[in-house]
Structure formats: C-alpha cells, structure tokens
C-alpha cells in the first residue's frame, strides 16, 4: 500500500522505512528539510518537504496514501509550551490526512497512567494529548504507547548507557520506579503488524517487552552487558531527575531539552497496564530484556566503529 511516514529522520522512523519497503509498501516521507534525509534508502522513497504543523503540507504528502505514521514530537526543542505545540501539530496532521483520504493513522506515544495524568511529567502528558487530538478526527487511529526503546539511536538508551558507565550507582527514590522496555526490533515488527492489520477503529495499546524491572535493576543489567561493574552505591534521599538532566545530556550526547523531557518521567511507573496487545497482535513483543540489551549494545558498538573508521565524531 501507499504509506506516509513522518519522523523519517528520527530513530524509529528511520528504522521503520526500510522495513516498510522490504514488505512491499510504497513510502512517502514528509520532512522539514530534504537535505537532512541522507539514509541509504533515500532514493527508494518519495520525499515531500514541509512541516507536520502545516495542514496543507500534510495534505500534499498524504494525498493518495492509505496509511500514515505519526512519529514526530517536539521534545528536541524547548519544553516551553510543549503541550500546546504537540496538540497543534497533531491537529494539523489529523486534518491533513483526513483531507488526503488516509484510512488509518498509527501513532507512537508514551506509556502513561491515565489515572495519574495530574501528576505525570509534561513530556508524557504532551504525548497523551497528541493522541487525544488525533482521535478527534474521523480517521481511525492506532496509538501504541511505549516506554524505553532499546536500540542504537534511541535517546533513552543513550541515557541508560551513560548511567551504566558511571562509576557511581545512584540510589535515588525514583530509581525504584518500574519500567518495561521494549526491543526496537519488536517495536518495528509491531508497527508493521498494525499497518498490515488495522483494527478499523480508534485503539490505544500499551506496549512493552516481557520483563518489568526497576530503573536501578535496568541500569544494573546494562552494566552487566557493558562489563562496567556494579558501580559504587551512593544513596541519595532526595534527587530530582531534572538535577541530572544537563550533565547526563552532555555525557550521552543528546540535546539537553530531550534529557529534561525524558528523565522526569522516571518518577512514574512506565508499565503495560492491560493485556490487549496480546489479544490484537499476539507473540510480537517477546524479546527478553537481556537479549534486547545485548543487541542494542552490539549495534551501538558497531556504529561507533563505523563512525571511527569514517572519521565521524561518535
């Protein structure tokens, strides 16, 4: 089928496009700057330049497409007015794909507890609100809500590796929060399954791997894969995640605004809260945590070696 992908220059979108092509789909990418799209599959897709916040740009890109992926979010810029920006972008995309005749939208959101929206992070609330805006239209929306995605190029994974390489193992109150990461290959397989077998109505699914662990345990397991040792335990009675964001961003090589958006989410459990994923798309997200970590670390090491041989800063 003809498929529109937004966010093709990002982590998930950039990995999804070649898999869509391999599955026989015809892919059109809406990008802000076509010069930034330098992937090896660039010649195999149609590129439309424009902003997802522009209904007209979305309409041009969506015209004739049967399905569309909404894989963009504004965390890479300032957190100021993030919720408003996410709502506006989702509304423009919603109206543009509807006018373009799209029959199914797939949105990648964040794992959020609907019963605790009043206390959730701004980042997760903005992602939840984008889903609300998308569902205000007539085009059926499948929203997949994921937590940490384990894979080369994931900002969350970069921050995790940074924590695992630290000589200090911080024991802060939020390190006991629960998380349910998902392997990037599982997430991509799920995105392909959803576009191939759409539910035909609005559907929101929590997605995660088979293992639920605390953030402290996740860091410990990452240390084991990296071989960096357990680290010196340091108990900190009070340490807001925001206090670590700037230094973590610098060490991980991610934008400070991105770290400031991601790290506060660690104060809340990010776990699958229902079993509907298995009902709709059984047997997809099954990669064990340690296997996913090993694959992600291996891909990261391989990428660093390629960059080093090419003289590219890692």
Q: Residue 12: CB partners within 8 Å, gap ≥ 6?
A: 71, 108, 149, 184, 187, 188, 191
Q: Which of 202, 200, 222, 203 is nearest to 211 (CA)?
A: 222
Residue 216 belongs to some domain of the structure: no
Distance of alpha carbon 15 from alpha carbon 235, whole angstroms: 38
Residue 177 belongs to some domain of the structure: no
Which range (67-76, 184-193, 283-292) has the least confidence? 67-76
Q: Look up residue 30 and give its two tokens.
A: 């809406």
Residue 138's CATH number: 3.40.50.720
Q: Is the pLDDT of residue 22 over 70?
A: yes
Which range (53-57, 234-238, 249-253) has the least confidence? 249-253
Residue 162 belongs to some domain of the structure: no
- pLDDT reported for residue 268: 82
Q: What is the pLDDT of residues 51-65, one digit of tens each?
A: 999 999 999 999 999
Distance of alpha carbon 72 from alpha carbon 10, whole angstroms: 8
Q: Residue 14: CB partners within 8 Å, gap ≥ 6?
A: 8, 39, 153
Q: What is the pLDDT of residues 263-309, one digit of tens each?
A: 667 778 899 998 899 999 999 999 999 999 999 999 988 877 777 77
Residue 232 belongs to some domain of the structure: no
Distance of alpha carbon 178 from alpha carbon 263, whole angstroms: 14
Host domain of residue 26: 2-147+183-207+271-285
Residue 265 belongs to some domain of the structure: no
Phi, psi of 128 (to 5 degrees): -65, -40
Total structural domains within the chain = 1
Q: Is the pLDDT of residue 113 over 60?
A: yes
Does pTM surpass 0.75? Answer: yes
Q: Look up residue 29 and give its two tokens.
A: 């990418």
Residue 310 belongs to some domain of the structure: no
Q: What is the pLDDT of residues 148-176, one digit of tens each?
A: 999 998 988 988 888 888 888 877 777 88
Residue 41 belongs to some domain of the structure: yes
Phi, psi of 98 (to 5 degrees): -65, -45
Q: What is the pLDDT of residues 29-44, one digit of tens each?
A: 999 999 999 999 999 9
Residue 53 belongs to some domain of the structure: yes
């Amino acid at each position: 089928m003809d498929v529109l992908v937004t966010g093709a220059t990002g982590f998930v979108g950039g990995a999804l496009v070649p898999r869509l092509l391999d599955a026989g789909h015809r892919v059109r990418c809406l990008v802000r700057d076509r010069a930034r799209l330098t992937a090896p599959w660039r010649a195999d897709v149609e590129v439309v330049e424009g902003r997802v916040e522009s209904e007209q740009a979305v309409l041009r890109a969506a015209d004739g497409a049967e399905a569309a992926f909404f894989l963009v979010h504004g965390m890479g810029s300032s957190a100021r007015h993030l919720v408003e920006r996410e709502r506006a972008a989702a509304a423009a995309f919603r109206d543009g794909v509807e006018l373009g005749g799209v029959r199914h939208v797939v949105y990648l959101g964040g794992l959020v507890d609907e019963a605790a929206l009043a206390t959730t992070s701004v980042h997760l609330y903005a992602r939840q609100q984008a889903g609300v805006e998308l569902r205000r239209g007539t085009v059926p929306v499948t929203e997949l809500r994921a937590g940490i995605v384990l894979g080369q190029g994931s900002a969350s994974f970069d921050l995790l590796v940074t924590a695992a390489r630290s000589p200090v193992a911080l024991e802060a109150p939020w390190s006991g929060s629960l998380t349910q990461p998902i392997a990037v290959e599982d997430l991509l397989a799920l995105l392909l399954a959803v576009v191939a077998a759409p539910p035909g109505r609005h559907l929101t699914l929590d997605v995660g791997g088979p293992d639920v662990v605390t953030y402290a345990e996740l860091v410990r397991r990452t240390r084991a894969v990296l071989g960096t040792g357990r680290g010196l335990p340091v108990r900190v009675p009070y340490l807001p995640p925001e206090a670590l964001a700037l230094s973590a961003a610098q060490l991980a090589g991610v934008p400070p605004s991105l770290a400031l958006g991601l790290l506060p989410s660690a104060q809340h459990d990010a776990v699958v809260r229902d079993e509907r994923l298995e009902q709709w798309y059984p047997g997809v997200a099954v990669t064990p945590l340690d296997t996913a970590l090993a694959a992600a670390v291996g891909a990261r090491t391989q990428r660093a070696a390629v960059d080093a041989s090419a003289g590219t800063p890692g």
